[in-house]
Structure 1
């Protein structure tokens, strides 16, 4: 009963007096955070009066509503928590049947059960929830503020309140006299920390320009004063009226330091500092080279910028140089006013912005000033808002070039229309003349129809009056699409058809399509690729006629036979069930077709010098050595195929050998054997001897002037010949594993010799035809990559002429190769001789 009554008392106190401690918590938090020190004295007095009134109201409200719980209320509360209300039953009496012994017995038994149940009573927990009274959770907000004041504030500031009431100053000043605090806060963009001047021992300080000085003076107004000459404000004249007396216990003074001078706090305990202000110099920006024009119309302008604290932002402002423009034809009329063309300069994402070099890369091909004389000026801004400008640079605004005469004419009409809408009738007349007899001029029917539609829209708009800016912009966009379609011709459509054919073939590979479906899709890919090559060749021929030095896609070259052999390799891999490798090679083909240019014929011997011919002979020797090594390995597999493979796998390998020999033709079978016929080691040895003799002839006729690179090439070729001789002897002994090792050594030496010879030719004959854009045994951009990521050899052969450990990430490449060797060595279904060979590789590396 006592616990129940105590709980009811707690409930009624909580519900009646929660506004009291809510106001108290909020008031203490405000005082602990020093709110009374920063507010005007009138606001402090007003807040104090309101707080006292609120506390009085809350106390009166709580006292009026509070009522001490009685014993009966506690019994009722306790009884409600028990099943059957046993306490009420114990105080009841039998109303009927008191004379009946049976009824009296039943009643006594009932009373006994209620007594037992009452003995199990426990005091109920008090319900202290006041959410229905405090719907805005003000009590929690005040409690949170109080907790933060305990952690981050100072409860000693509450003792300043009596000083405010009596006007006697703060407690600290009353006990210790006048005091002061001072801070110097540099601008945030400098990244420098704030200084607490009370703790700084030196009297000479160096601060950046714009530093914020904050002073707080505690005590009577006439005890401490401030003298400074760093803010630039005029000093107070002797005969000037005095400033109003600040009767507050604390005075706050803030100003910005913009020049060197003296800062002093005069009075008891005062101090002075000699401040040296470092001026914030404006940022600087300049061009770091000539503008570079990309093939797709983008311009790349390098620039460098610097600032003492860092550049915040920058932009490039491009304006039309009207005096330098060729004012003829559509440019003869006055142009419509246009805002300057503005590009944001790229800023470093990481690192310092105090001194950096970047490149502005933008495409202004669709702008009205494309290819016209302009003046470009760079502008950068620092954190203080100061601006730095570069010297203006005069240039023709870089944009995409159109080599097709009709496309160039459409672009010129577009430029005239954007120059001024007054050129609308002239543009309409030229369009009528251009489309009057389009035979032989407009070969693209779709482009012709689009041009006629644009012409009719222009005529209709001119018939209604002056051309609107919206219609001008729509027509300019239409002219751009037409010119692009004419310039690219069917190239874009052919490329899209080739991509779709590649996607369909990739989907068929992933879904496990039948061989008939794959063959059909492969034929579609061949046809689409042929169309793309033809269109690309026509475009390149047109570009070369108009601009002989123009090179597309970095001067990369690939022939039709190379693409044909690569697609043959894709089909062979699919027929053998090696779908993953086929998919990888298909992806390589897709990337290569988008980045390479096309030349007709095989290798263009008419344009190849002696150095190029020597390189081609070495490449042919390397290819034949690789073929010979492949055949020796297949011969080794066939000899031991029954030990580690079934008949089906052996037949697949023989079919693969026959297919490859059939693709090579008679030139790849010097011994006259029919495709698919097995080769004995003796025949392989004769071919190896022929290759060694051929290499000796090539070694004796190396072109070029004597140099270290040429001597290195001769040494590498000599070592390759010795390895070939060792492979020949091993083949005659029938030791195929040893022959494979020596052949691999010969291939590596051949590659090294070709690289050295390429370097020698590049140094001795840099301008010789055939030295530009050729591999010379090095990695070249025109080389595709096989499924293992290796650069392919010449004529589309899926082999590699490169050092596998070249490039910036050689360690990852070596690790990938070792992982692949380990994976294959763990497949026990492979022939034992192949497994032995793989284990020897692991032991060696």
Structure 2
């Protein structure tokens, strides 16, 4: 019969042996860890080549020290080592089981051996413990020696070996044999070391020459460094890869350093020498290509995508834009030979961070004012790598992207500007076309008299310059004036919200008919939204100034169409949705319905008290001053016409009409008398006196302007200050008999006054909403007056972010690249402090 103890020991034999083996490993580790720590440290020092930089005596002294340390550690380990017994392994295994079942099974019954019941109970207990012991698992060893190595010397040794494995090789260990006296050096013979350092722009690692094969494929410009050890002359260098001529160091020089310039052979002659066949790894020429069609914003900013690639990195690039004369339609102003003009050359933007091996960027520029705008040109892109190789992409012919003008008159002015910049010989023709445009213009051609006045002044200056020979500076001056006039004709006077809204509707309708791009339509749609909001605010201001009684107001409101901005927003969203779906006909019909609704819409404002508020009174007085200034400007323009055309009738020349239809009658053009009679005999001095009176009147109104504690009120005061300065300039010009300058200053004064009236109206609207206590409006106004910690105004409705443009000024990509180059330059300057250079390196790592 098999005893329970024997059966149990057979069942737990495997976990017991594993536990016993773990105890052996545990005691060997605790006893002999100093031995292998010392050996690892010695191996690390040998691999790092410390022996090559120390005197022979120091090397041998260090070797003796390490030998003694190994012997001491081994003797210490033998003394402390105790071979684990089987009983110890059984006790460790039993300790992991509940109730120590192994010990219970191996125990003998102490008492009651003659009692059958007691024996049976003991047997049952042993059987239960045996069943529990069958689940025994091997106990792992505890290899921690932290308590015996409080300074973690073993980790120091392992770290040294890891560094040696990363930055050196086992080949350096053999150099210690050459340090033995006498025949050891002769037995080992001379030794050498070599490294291959590829050019830094490749990003390739340094190679250890002894580990390389017989054939080397190296980038051109790689640097080879060799070191010969032993007797001078025992090893010599033979190479044909550097192409060196003239003074070349001796082939037996212990230190060799040269650059690979061509393919050839590299050999180390002597005992233990080797040879390699070196081939130049070609550096591919970088490549660049236009990767898409240019995108043009509504304001004329072009974004041209391109893709560049190189086997290592593209360092820089540029684009050359030249006029495509073969594709040019040589008609009208372009029929003459153009004046010489250098091609456009710009630097291509490079990635600020990331790899430059292959990348896609966009060239962002605005060519709207360039003489070649919308003319056929050829884009030629080129890039360069670090090896100064230049790659040129395929020429990309296209029309030079620029701003589009939808207003016919603005487009005509821009065309004449282009012809003038094409050749100064076109000046007489341009003057003739401008004179034809401005001669008795049909009603509605010029939206404002200011634009008409500006055109006439430009025409007179162009004719005067042409009479004495148009210089380049004069041509550029006229071209800039024409550009500014075209912007005014295209964008119009933003002070007249109704006209601006109608103009936005017309431009959007024209863009849909002409098949404009999605980006342009989106820009025009946003412009319509902004203009509609301005129009609603203007109607609100007019409602505040309404002096009709409550009954009449109520009767009219019953018949008026009342809409809020949410309704208009839904209508405009519907128009944009139809355009995005390509349903242009339905979109145009919806736009016409919106126009009809806006014409019939009336925004009502309650709370009239039967008298004008201070804001309404100020608005009415400013409107009267603006009308007086407009009439005075008209009189100055008629006097300017009389200087060049004495036979013309004052007040009627060129079809000039007053603001309300009268032909030059009085200052304000209200049809109150004959303007000729009133202004006759006064001359420019009389006009100057009237200008001074208007300025004094404006200053009184500015001093009584309400809303001093609001943002809109402050903006209105700033605008009126600009108007005051412009009026002062107009007065001085009139006293000097400089009518052209006076007209320009008067135009600026009127524009500033309109800006002030608009700001004042917005302030009044905000005050009215605050008075009514509307919770939504109050929250909106509060958020509009707040600024974030950077001083930016929040977005619409207080949303996170800002509506202010953060990318104004110079090209943001070029600026970022310049900053990155400056950081790199400063990080390489050795005279800077370590703290500053560390900071600059962290910036480079981040970006």
Instruction: Confirm or deny a common fold (TM above 0.5).
Output: no
TM-score range, shorter chain: 0.3 to 0.5
What TM-score, normalized to structure 2? 0.38
What TM-score, normalized to structure 1? 0.39
